[in-house]
């Protein structure tokens, strides 16, 4: 696993399904640079059990993210055709019909590798043939990326552990509060509460570059 906090988010271009129905080529997070914060999250597989609860939860909270000028983007190692098929299946049948934010198809697994969330790895056997170990799908990683393309927050959960969308929103609020006020957010800080004034060199450095 790699820690990307404080570093530029890895760039990529890949196929994705947008607006719940349209397959596009060369989708990239770079379109949001200078414009929006991004919550970029990985999930293991289409047509599973925990994953749709997370995707629907992010969709339900999408108006809150949009109010904060935050783009939500999902990604798994399934194909764009698999994403599209799952999007056509109603929620009561285990589908994700109604999801409108982009879902990226990491079919080469390079996005998951670069973000450090791929469960498994490639290796060569004694005959020089490339093999893989592990399921070769993405853990439940989530990355909060600022308008400069820098990762400010990340979490990675194992497959059985669904994430908290409320916590993702809280982290967005904390980052935006810091960017606006220059004050840091203590434990369990929530929007509307006061922050703490900070003099740490890292804070000054962040403010100088944003």
Catalytic residue, chosen from 51, 111, 118, 169, is 51
Q: Is residue 36 part of a domain?
A: yes
Q: In the prediction, which pLDDT does 208 show?
A: 45
Q: Is residue 66 part of a domain?
A: yes
Q: Is residue 61 part of a domain?
A: yes
Q: Is residue 193 part of a domain?
A: no
Q: Is residue 203 part of a domain?
A: no
Please list the helix, strand and coil fractions of the chain in percent, rounded to the nearest 5, in that order: 30, 30, 40
Low-confidence ranges of the chain (pLDDT < 70): 1, 199-210
- If one counts the domains in the chain, the total is 1
Q: Is residue 202 part of a domain?
A: no
Q: In the prediction, which pLDDT does 31 show?
A: 98
Q: pLDDT digits over 106-115, tens only?
A: 999 999 999 9
Question: What is the rounded distance in angstroms from the CA atom of residue 133 to the CA atom of residue 141?
Answer: 19
| C-alpha distances out from residue 126 to 18, 130, 135, Å | 43, 10, 21
Q: pLDDT digits over 87-142, tens only?
A: 999 999 999 999 999 999 999 999 999 999 999 987 877 878 777 788 999 999 99
Q: In the prediction, which pLDDT does 203 show?
A: 54
DSSP state of 54: H
Active-site annotation holds for 75: no
Residue 81, Ramachandran bin (φ over 0: left; ψ between -120 and 50: alpha; else beta): alpha
What CATH number is attached to the domain comprising 76? 3.40.30.10
Domain range for 84 is 14-161
Q: Is residue 6 part of a domain?
A: no
Q: In the prediction, which pLDDT does 202 show?
A: 52
Q: Is residue 173 part of a domain?
A: no
């Amino acid at each position: 696993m790699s820690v990307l906090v404080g570093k530029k988010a890895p760039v990529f271009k890949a196929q994705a399904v947008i607006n719940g129905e349209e397959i596009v080529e060369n989708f990239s997070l770079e379109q949001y640079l200078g414009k929006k914060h991004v919550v970029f999250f990985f999930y293991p597989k289409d047509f599973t059990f925990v994953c749709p609860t997370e995707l629907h939860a992010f969709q339900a909270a999408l108006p809150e993210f949009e109010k904060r000028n935050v783009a939500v983007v999902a990604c798994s190692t399934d194909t764009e055709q698999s994403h599209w098929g799952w999007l056509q299946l109603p929620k009561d049948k285990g589908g994700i019909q109604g999801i409108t934010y982009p879902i990226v198809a990491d079919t080469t697994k390079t996005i998951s590798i670069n973000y450090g969330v791929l469960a498994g790895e490639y290796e060569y056997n004694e005959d020089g043939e490339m093999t893989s170990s592990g399921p070769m799908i993405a853990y439940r990683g989530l990355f909060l990326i600022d308008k400069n393309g820098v990762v400010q927050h990340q979490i990675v959960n194992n497959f059985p552990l669904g994430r908290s969308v409320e916590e993702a929103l809280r982290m967005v609020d904390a980052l935006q509060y810091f960017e606006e006020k220059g004050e840091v957010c203590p434990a369990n800080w929530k929007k509307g509460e006061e922050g703490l004034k900070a003099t740490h060199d890292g804070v000054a450095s962040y403010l100088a570059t944003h």
